[in-house]
Structure 1
Amino acid sequence: MRRALRIAAGELRLMTRTRTAWLGLIALVLLSAVAAATSSAHIASERAARAEHQAAADHAFEAQPDRHPHRAVHYGTYVQRPVSPLAAFEPGVDPFTGTTLFLEGHRQNSATFGAMRESSGLIRFGQLTPAFVLQTLAPLLLIFLGFSTVARERETGVLKQLRLHGAHAGDVLVGKALALGAIGGVALAPALVSLAVPAASAPAEAASAALIGGGYAAYLAIWVLGVVAVSTLARSSRGALLSLIAVWAVAVVVVPRGAAALAAQAEPAPTRVEMDLRLAQDARRIGDSHNPDDPFFTTFRERTLAAYGVEQVEDLPVNFRGLVAAEGEALTSRLFADSAKRTADQQRAQSAWLEAGAVLSPALAVRQASMAGAATGLENHVSFLEQAEAYRFDLIQRLNRLHTEGVRAEDDAARSRDPEAERRTRVSADNWATLPDFEFRPATPAQRVGGMLPGLAVLTAWLLAAIGLFVIAGRRLGQVTT
């Protein structure tokens, strides 16, 4: 091990004498630091903006005047998707999925104002975040600094000299890997800081942040071992460089984008217009909940009269129109739930293609793990939509209950032709403040760690494969130098 450390120190001294190595390392560290700073500032600004917009939406809903409860049903309100504390490191799918959701009766809207959907194609190519720098640019630095570590020594005859001084092939490879690993550690440092800061302010994030940091350390270790192994196995430095660049292009660019394209082809998603038309057709079969005399609600009317022990709607102690509105909302909400489940299942099927692509690309594996740990993956988005829909349904049904119990049926029936009756159908504005606000419940730390396990398992397999290649390279080098 002492000889390996000496070889590593010698390799680092050689790198420090090379201006290209210094420039590359400084550029990557600065880029990583800038990415961490700008991404953190953006997330802090975004968090403050969403909190402000949520407060404004809550205030606007509570500031409604006295009005008919069903007017409030159609007035609706907005909810904002909260920002994960670790989103500055790994934004995941959040920029593409929308941040704002409008909630109203009889309708399920989609999230809007996604940062990437509102931007140009150039911005969509890649966000400057610590995760992007580590996934895409750090391997390139390791390739350009390490492609000739062993090949150069063989071409110049230094390997034979090292052998004469008692250095084994394993010492040479381990020393070269330690030197290149030190470069990787320096490149990793700014990203680890960007993980440690939110983890320090939110202790619940510590476990996820630690696993994310460990995952990226393993990812860079895969590249370090692979670069040194290829430099050993290649016939020349030039051949090693070309081979490594080809591997990087396939693993970091071709496979992730190819897997996404295959997912879109294999699991084509309907457009929002097609989904809305399908829901509208299904809703028409249910009937019109605004019309208490709609034939579809005949069975419901008979069931309600029997439950209250009366023979006519006029004899009910509550407003039948409100009961019909509540029943109609329950029926349409089931349609919404079925539609949302189909959409989520389709998105999960598309995501499965990316998970399969991780077998061919460690970049996909580490990205899946970091998104799950940072709570910025698909499941977090689906959870937000499900919780928002549950809140929407509860809010609308509370308003329907006000309609049922707080508005007299006679006034409700006459309000379109009698101004006084219309005035009496307005409930007090104090009711709006009693309705609960939306509170998103994110995945627990244990759930997030569990979500990281599949990606980390694939990453571990890649690390074992890199170690295996490294061992093979060591044996080959030992045969050459003997």
Structure 2
Amino acid sequence: MRQLLFIARKEIKVALREKLVVSLGIVTLLLLGVALYAGYVSYQQQKEIITETQAEKRKEWLNQGDKHPHIAAHYGTFIFKPKTVLSLFDFGLDAYTGTSVYLEAHYQHGFMFRPAQDHTSMIRFGELSAALVLQVLAPLLIIFLAFGAFTRERESGTLKLLMSQGISFRLLTWGKIVAYSIMLAIVLLPIVVGIFILSFSGIRQEVIPDIAFRAVLLVLIYGVYLFLFISFSVWISLRSATGRNALLTLLTGWMFFAVLMPKTVTNFSESLYSLPSMREFKARIQEDKVNGLDGKTPRSVRRARLEKEYLEKYQVDSVEQLPFNFEGVSMQAGEEHGNKVYDHHLHKLREIFHQQNRLRSIASLFNPFLAVQHLSMALSGTDMYTFIHFEKAVEHYRRELVRKMNGDMAENSRYGEFYGYKAQRDLWQEIDDFAYQTPTAAELLQLYHLEILSLLMWTALVFVLLNYSNRKMKPLHG
């Protein structure tokens, strides 16, 4: 242990003499600080706007005045996607999924105000966030820090001197890994502390139920990810003849894993599992709403069947004799048919997204960058599955609102007198304000088992490579 610490201390002293390494460390720290601060400012601004606007829309719903319940269902309201505290760390898909949606009867509107629409195509390379800095730029710092771990010793002749003193390759390797890990931890410590402080500062208003657990997991996952880069950099240096070869190999690997492969996998998945256009998607829904999913049961046929069913059930001759307003029942039946059609097409659309995401998950087995990217978004509440969970909650709220309006119409109005009945504020108050909580981290991580397996496999591979290489390295003699 004493020899290990001696080697680590020596490596830290050598690294601190390298002006390039120190400069890169400062730049990385500044970028992390700027990204985290910018994310926090954006989070606070959007949270305030969403909170104020949601309260305003709630007030408009309650104060809409006396009107027919079905008209109120079309008057509708807006729902805004709440910002999670951890989204200030990893923006994820927030720029693409939209921030608000309008709810009304008969229609499932798409989410509006996607920030990505206001950006150039460069946004495909990602926004500057703390997660992006750790995923892409921090490995560059590690490469320039560790590429000369062994090549520098060989070229200066100090490696033979160390071996002559009885220091093994294994001890030397782990001493260097410990040294680089300590230096990186010192650089990243202020950011880690900042993330915990910012996360816990908004815990009372947070939509994430287990934010502390998620923050710890984020630190653990990024710790493993950066440890992999440190270990591989040291291993490449151990196996390289010169520092130039080691640096070129590591930079090529970084370019492939962090830039080329993710874009290639994304483009390939989009080509293999192509999405329909929005126009085509809506046209198919509208067609099936009119003619039925089988294409043979138009609205008139469905209404006739429903009318016959209720007349036989209540043993009456006309809908006017029913003990409720049949129009309300008919409208709700039409609403449920529309929901069935929408669910059918949305399921097919989501299945394409799942297939695309599954392909990226499989690719993450060969690329730890993809694994960390997916897990980071999931734990920050900005991934695809969290958005789908929110989308389902919003649609459930819309359906309950419309069902309540149609139910009141059926119970309290008379057939054929659509404008004769007007509901009041008491009915509007029966619709609770929308509230949302994300799935727990444990629930989400079950969907990312391939990404977790990837990190475990790469960690095991690192230990195998280091152990094998250290055993196979031949002793050096003067």
TM over 0.5: yes
Deviation of the 1:188 alpha carbon: 3.0
What TM-score, normalized by structure 1, do the two folds share?
Answer: 0.92
Deviation of the 1:193 alpha carbon: 2.2
Counterpart contact for 1:116–1:124, Cα < 8 Å: no
- What SS does the aligned partner of 2:86 have? coil
State the alpha-carbon separation in 1 of the partners of residues 253 and 280 from structure 2: 41
- What SS does the aligned partner of 2:163 have? helix
Q: Tell me if 1:393 matches 2:438.
A: no
Q: Tell me if 1:60 matches 2:55.
A: no
Q: Residue 185 of structure 1 corresponds to which residue in structure 2?
A: 185
Q: Which whole-Å deviations, capped at 9, do the CAs of 1:78-113 have from their partners, x for residues lacking one?
A: 111122232112222222111211111111111121
Counterpart contact for 1:150–1:176, Cα < 8 Å: no
Deviation of the 1:241 alpha carbon: 0.5
Q: State the one-letter code of the partner of 1:121.
A: S
Q: Residue 419 of structure 1 corresponds to which residue in structure 2?
A: none
Q: State the one-letter code of the partner of 2:430.
A: T
Q: State the one-letter code of the partner of 1:165.
A: Q
Q: State the one-letter code of the partner of 2:352.
A: Q
Q: 1:451 to 1:91 in 2, by over 3 A?
A: farther
Q: Residue 45 of structure 2 corresponds to which residue in structure 1?
A: 45
Q: Which whole-Å deviations, capped at 9, do the CAs of 1:133-165 have from their partners, x for residues lacking one?
A: 110000000101111121011112111111122
Q: Residue 415 of structure 1 corresponds to which residue in structure 2?
A: none
Q: Tell me if 1:272 matches 2:278.
A: yes
- What SS does the aligned partner of 2:362 have? helix
State the alpha-carbon separation in 1 of the partners of residues 477 and 360 from structure 2: 43
State the alpha-carbon separation in 2 of the partners of residues 391 and 182 from structure 1: 50
Q: Residue 381 of structure 1 corresponds to which residue in structure 2?
A: 387
Counterpart contact for 1:36–1:190, Cα < 8 Å: no
Q: Residue 216 of structure 1 corresponds to which residue in structure 2?
A: 222
Q: State the one-letter code of the partner of 1:181.
A: S
- What SS does the aligned partner of 2:103 have? strand
- What SS does the aligned partner of 1:294 have? helix
Q: Residue 20 of structure 1 corresponds to which residue in structure 2?
A: 20
State the alpha-carbon separation in 2 of the partners of residues 119 and 61 from structure 1: 33
Deviation of the 1:29 alpha carbon: 1.1
Percent identical residues:
28
Q: 1:57 to 1:353 in 2, by over 3 A?
A: same
Q: State the one-letter code of the partner of 1:12.
A: I
State the alpha-carbon separation in 1 of the partners of residues 477 and 72 from structure 2: 83
Deviation of the 1:195 alpha carbon: 3.3
Q: Which whole-Å deviations, capped at 9, do the CAs of 1:411-450 have from their partners, x for residues lacking one?
A: 22xxxxxxxxx3x333224422222222223212432454
- What SS does the aligned partner of 1:87 have? helix
Q: 1:452 to 1:267 in 2, by over 3 A?
A: closer
Of 246, 249, 254, the residue aligned with 2:255 is 249
Counterpart contact for 1:180–1:224, Cα < 8 Å: yes
Q: Residue 206 of structure 2 corresponds to which residue in structure 1?
A: none
Deviation of the 1:453 alpha carbon: 4.5
Counterpart contact for 2:32–2:129, Cα < 8 Å: yes
State the alpha-carbon separation in 2 of the partners of residues 446 and 262 from structure 1: 30
State the alpha-carbon separation in 2 of the partners of residues 453 and 375 from structure 1: 17
State the alpha-carbon separation in 1 of the partners of residues 400 and 5 from structure 2: 65
What TM-score, normalized by structure 2, do the two folds share?
Answer: 0.93
Counterpart contact for 2:160–2:476, Cα < 8 Å: no
Of 349, 352, 376, the residue aligned with 1:346 is 352
Q: State the one-letter code of the partner of 1:98.
A: G
Q: 1:15 to 1:451 in 2, by over 3 A?
A: same
Q: Residue 332 of structure 2 corresponds to which residue in structure 1?
A: 326
Of 434, 437, 443, the residue aligned with 1:438 is 434
Counterpart contact for 2:98–2:115, Cα < 8 Å: yes
Counterpart contact for 1:89–1:194, Cα < 8 Å: no
Deviation of the 1:469 alpha carbon: 2.0
Query: Which is worse superposed, 118-127 or 23-32?
Result: 118-127
Q: Residue 462 of structure 1 corresponds to which residue in structure 2?
A: 458
Q: State the one-letter code of the partner of 2:143.
A: I
State the alpha-carbon separation in 2 of the partners of residues 131 and 190 from structure 1: 15
Q: Residue 376 of structure 2 corresponds to which residue in structure 1?
A: 370
How many residues align? The count is 468
Q: State the one-letter code of the partner of 1:106.
A: H
- What SS does the aligned partner of 2:116 have? coil
State the alpha-carbon separation in 1 of the partners of residues 270 and 123 from structure 2: 21
Q: Which whole-Å deviations, capped at 9, do the CAs of 1:48-68 have from their partners, x for residues lacking one?
A: 221122112212222212222
Q: Which whole-Å deviations, capped at 9, do the CAs of 1:249-288 have from their partners, x for residues lacking one?
A: 011111111111111011101111111000011011149x
Q: Residue 161 of structure 1 corresponds to which residue in structure 2?
A: 161
Query: Which is worse superposed, 347-356 or 454-463?
Result: 454-463
Query: Which is worse superposed, 198-207 or 299-308?
Result: 198-207
Deviation of the 1:199 alpha carbon: 4.6
- What SS does the aligned partner of 2:102 have? strand
Q: State the one-letter code of the partner of 1:74.
A: H
Q: Tell me if 1:113 matches 2:128.
A: no
- What SS does the aligned partner of 2:84 have? coil
Q: 1:2 to 1:462 in 2, by over 3 A?
A: same
Q: Which whole-Å deviations, capped at 9, do the CAs of 1:193-220 have from their partners, x for residues lacking one?
A: 2431255343831112111111100001
Of 292, 303, 307, the residue aligned with 2:313 is 307
Counterpart contact for 1:263–1:350, Cα < 8 Å: yes
Counterpart contact for 1:384–1:440, Cα < 8 Å: yes
Q: Residue 8 of structure 1 corresponds to which residue in structure 2?
A: 8
Q: State the one-letter code of the partner of 2:135.
A: Q
Of 282, 304, 322, the residue aligned with 1:316 is 322
Deviation of the 1:12 alpha carbon: 1.1
Counterpart contact for 2:75–2:104, Cα < 8 Å: yes
In the TM superposition, 1:28-177 aligns within 5 A as 28-177=28-177
Deviation of the 1:296 alpha carbon: 3.0
State the alpha-carbon separation in 1 of the partners of residues 96 and 277 from structure 2: 16
- What SS does the aligned partner of 1:392 have? helix
Q: Which whole-Å deviations, capped at 9, do the CAs of 1:272-315 have from their partners, x for residues lacking one?
A: 1111000011011149xxxx993431110011112222111121
Counterpart contact for 1:131–1:191, Cα < 8 Å: no
Counterpart contact for 1:369–1:451, Cα < 8 Å: no
Q: 1:449 to 1:268 in 2, by over 3 A?
A: closer
State the alpha-carbon separation in 2 of the partners of residues 410 and 108 from structure 1: 27
- What SS does the aligned partner of 2:115 have? coil
